[in-house]
């Protein structure tokens, strides 16, 4: 069953380490099987991100996402469609700097669901930490085709986000995979969003398990895990 309260959702969010973003097609996979494998491997959140799909396509795919998340006690977030959160049974919405504003998204989804925000600069990171969001993503750390035209921010923005305790969880995002995730962790990331690292993996379950293990280093001083 979907999580029933904001308290439950935020507790699960606080414990999360690995976040998968995927389109309605599963990048060519059997969507249900792919999500099931990734979640078995340790993915904590799944986001349906389909910038070009119509409402019917999103609603149909959301049924698969919602079922998979419920089976594995994971969170299901919808990208940039706060108006469809209720209809899809999503646990929340993720918006970008150029999407609907956080205050409007919060009104649309209510206080019991979570709102996430993308950040790309130190000022945006600091503002998100004080805004009415439940988590924020920091990146893109590396250039990625999922964000065409968006320049990579490198590890410096990760270091900035990790430089002081944050009251809400945050995730590194952007071109992360098994080869470069250790550098992001060394820079202070304790949570990561991945796309191609799993959608292009031959064995999504094993890959997710390895990525998740890499996101759980020893605790560090200063609360950088948040």
The CATH number of residue 117's host domain is 3.20.20.70
First vs last C-alpha separation in the chain: 27
Residue 220: inside a domain, yes or no?
no
Residue 81: inside a domain, yes or no?
yes
When divided into structural domains, the chain yields a total of 1
pLDDT tens-digit map of 10-65: 999 999 999 999 998 766 679 999 999 999 999 999 999 998 889 999 999 999 99
So what's the pLDDT on residue 1?
56
pLDDT tens-digit map of 103-124: 999 999 999 999 999 999 999 9
Identify the domain containing residue 132 by its residue range: 6-210
pTM beyond 0.85: the answer is yes
So what's the pLDDT on residue 188?
96
């Amino acid at each position: 069953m979907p999580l029933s309260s904001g308290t439950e959702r935020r507790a699960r969010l606080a414990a999360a380490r690995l976040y998968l973003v995927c389109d309605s097609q599963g990048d060519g996979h059997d969507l249900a099987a792919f999500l099931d494998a990734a979640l078995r491997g340790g993915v904590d959140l799944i986001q349906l991100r389909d910038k070009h799909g119509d409402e019917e396509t999103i609603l149909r795919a959301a049924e698969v996402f919602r079922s998979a998340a419920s089976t594995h006690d994971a969170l299901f977030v919808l990208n940039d469609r706060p108006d469809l959160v209720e209809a899809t049974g999503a646990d929340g919405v993720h918006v970008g700097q150029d999407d609907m504003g956080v205050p409007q998204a919060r009104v649309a989804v209510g206080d019991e669901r979570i709102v996430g925000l993308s950040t790309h600069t130190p000022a945006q990171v600091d503002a998100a930490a004080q805004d009415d969001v439940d988590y924020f993503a920091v990146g893109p750390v590396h250039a990625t085709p999922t964000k065409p035209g968006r320049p990579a921010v490198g590890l410096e923005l990760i270091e900035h986000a990790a430089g002081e305790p944050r009251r809400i969880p945050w995730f590194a995002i952007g071109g992360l995979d098994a080869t470069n995730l250790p550098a992001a962790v060394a820079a202070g990331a304790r949570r990561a969003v991945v796309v191609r690292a799993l959608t292009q993996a031959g064995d999504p379950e094993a890959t997710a398990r390895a990525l998740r293990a890499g996101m759980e280093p020893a605790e560090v001083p200063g609360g950088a895990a948040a």
